[in-house]
Chain A
Amino acid sequence: MKDLNNLFEKAKPFVEKGGKFHWLYSTYEAFYAFCFVSKNTSKSGTHIHDYIDLKRTMSIVVIALLPALLFGMYNVGYQHFGAAGMLNSTDFFKIFLFGFLKVLPIIVVSYVVGLGIEFLFAQLRGHQVNEGFLVTGLLIPMIMPVNVPLWMVAVATAFSVIFVKEVFGGTGMNVWNPALVARAFLFFAYPAHMSGDSAWISVSGIEKLADGFTGATPLAQAITAETANAPIPVDFWNSFTGLIPGSIGETSTIAILIGALILIFTGIGSWKIMLSTLGGGIVMALIFNIFGGNNTYMTMPFWNQLVIGGFAFGTVFMATDPVSSAQTERGKWIYGFLIGVLAILIRVINPAFPEGMMMAILLMNTFAPLIDYIVVQGNIKRRMKRSKIIA
């Protein structure tokens, strides 16, 4: 540790103002803050000083993401060996290792591309490198199908970091969630790699697929069943534990719930948004249950709606993004509720989209500033009225 500190001290004259490499200062600063604690103090404007800074916030979110990520890695291996019909003859570590080796490159690509662009912008614009991307860079791989080509991850990450985050001024200024836009970008640009039955399970190196293997996610199966008017084959407990095909991090509701507990306990994720999103989803599913008629997808019980697809993951990690969600307390209830309603609505009535959660959150990100505006104006109006009565 001391040697490292010495190294930084030695390098300092070079990157300071007037030094040879002064344009590298924010890179230096970022690495220093990553290893130790930033020495900079705020110099202008109003600041609230607190023990919980951006670095700590982001670290806690990363910790909350870990259960879902680790389970996702295991599930990638589980689906692979399940497709090969070799589940019984393979031990736990081999399964996990397979998934780990599959997921790791995606994470590396997302971090390298995203952080590279982030550092570049920080250098050019002379601001500090923020820790915000640590979370985004982990969220992007977790909402990708495992078979996504690496260059697509790179393109999507570059697109979202530049056009969703940096052009708005960097961390804390974005209007949309960068990770979700990255996924939406790929979904519309390369639909063949982001949906369909071949995207979700890694079958490379398998000589003979097991009997009855489909590779379809429960959401895709639900759409198929809807057109055929057959009962929907969703196994609640499998979906709850997460041993189903799907994006890497989204399958296990129980791992996501652990993350949710961490976020709520530390006060970083808004429990209001999580609760209201859940409420919105349940209400919409119940409405479909009542008025659905013969449509099997509409008659699917709400607890099944909540455990399949990205509903849980979106509720806990995407909707609660403190930057792109509504900022006012009453706005959060409205925002979350509408996400839940829209997610189930798009999922059920739009055959072009197997997953409505992504679009629902993006759409509500769009209208979150408007919700805030209306709530704030409402508050102003009410207080004006109150002050008049007193006077």
Chain B
Amino acid sequence: MEHLINIFVKSVFLENMIFAYFLGMCSYLAVSKSVKAAMGLGIAVVFVLTVTVPVDYLLDNYILKAGALSWLGDSFQNVDLEFLSFIMFIAVIASITQLVEMVVEKYTPVLYNQLGIYLPLIAVNCAILGGSLFMQQKDFGTLAEATTYGFGSGIGWLLAIVGIAAIREKIQYSKVPAPLRGAGIAFIITGLMGIAFMGFTGIKL
């Protein structure tokens, strides 16, 4: 249990998708104009990450890894399909995103309109693919660990996008220099948030 908490805290704060790896920046910058939309997209990302990372984990361990296919028989002992992992992971992510899109469209059409193109674009959100690839790299021992990691990464991303959305709503009436309005000030905010998050680097868990 303690082990899982460690993985969770690490993936939320220390290895934050946005502030440590700068992954998923496009939707992070584009959908962070209002807290509501940011919350919606953030929850969608949490959901997709929590589902895709364990699915990809199973895929990796029972089909793709070197020797993973040995459950089919001894003749598959030496098969290594790892070169397929990118395409397989993307396929899984795309199908889960499709599912999320259908659910969101059915139950909250307002949010669906607000998120616009960025909802289907979750499929190519680098944070999602990054989650699966980091999972592969970290070589987790159990399914529970992989799920915790996916969930934690999603929560970290959610925290980042909701945080910047609240800041951007706050500075709506500030007199930001004209050339910096919009994306420019968003980049500066992201950098300063990154400085604030650096307090967690160096923690040994």
Q: Which residues from chain A sit less than 8 Å from chain B, CB to CB?
A: 125, 127, 163-164, 166-170, 173, 175-176, 181, 184-185, 188, 342, 346, 349-353, 356, 358-360, 362-363, 365-367, 369-370, 372-373
With contact pairs A125-B177, A176-B192 given, residues A168 and B198 touching in the complex (Cβ less than 8 Å): no
The yes or no answer to B59 lying at the interface (CB within 8 A) is: no
8 Å CB contact of A367 from B163, B174, B189, B203: B163
B-side interface size class: 20 to 34
8 Å CB contact of A173 from B163, B175, B204: B175
A selection of 27 A-B contacts at a CB cut-off of 8 Å is A125-B175, A127-B175, A167-B176, A169-B174, A169-B175, A170-B175, A175-B167, A175-B170, A175-B189, A175-B192, A181-B195, A184-B195, A184-B198, A185-B195, A188-B195, A342-B199, A346-B199, A346-B203, A350-B200, A350-B202, A351-B204, A359-B198, A363-B197, A367-B166, A372-B170, A373-B166, A373-B169
The yes or no answer to B35 lying at the interface (CB within 8 A) is: yes
- For B196, the chain A residues whose CB sits under 8 A away are 176, 184, 359, 362-363, 365-366
Least distance between A211 CB and chain B CB atoms (Å): 34
8 Å CB contact of A188 from B176, B193, B198, B203: B198
**How far, in whole Å, are A253 and B155 apart by their CA atoms in the complex?**
38
- For A353, the chain B residues whose CB sits under 8 A away are 199, 202
In the complex, residue of chain A having the shortest beta-carbon distance to the beta carbon of B184: A167
Tally inter-chain residue pairs, CB-CB below 8 A.
Answer: 93
Secondary structure class of chain A's binding surface, majority of residues? helix
Given A351-B202, A362-B195, A363-B196, 8 more A-B residue pairs with CB atoms under 8 Å apart are A167-B176, A175-B170, A181-B192, A185-B195, A346-B203, A352-B203, A362-B196, A369-B167
**How far, in whole Å, are A373 and B167 apart by their CA atoms in the complex?**
10
- For A163, the chain B residues whose CB sits under 8 A away are 188, 192
**How far, in whole Å, are A342 and B9 apart by their CA atoms in the complex?**
14
The yes or no answer to B201 lying at the interface (CB within 8 A) is: yes
- Name the residue in B35, B197, B198 with the highest tally of chain A Cβ atoms < 10 Å from its Cβ: B198
- For A173, the chain B residues whose CB sits under 8 A away are 171, 174-175
- For A188, the chain B residues whose CB sits under 8 A away are 195, 198
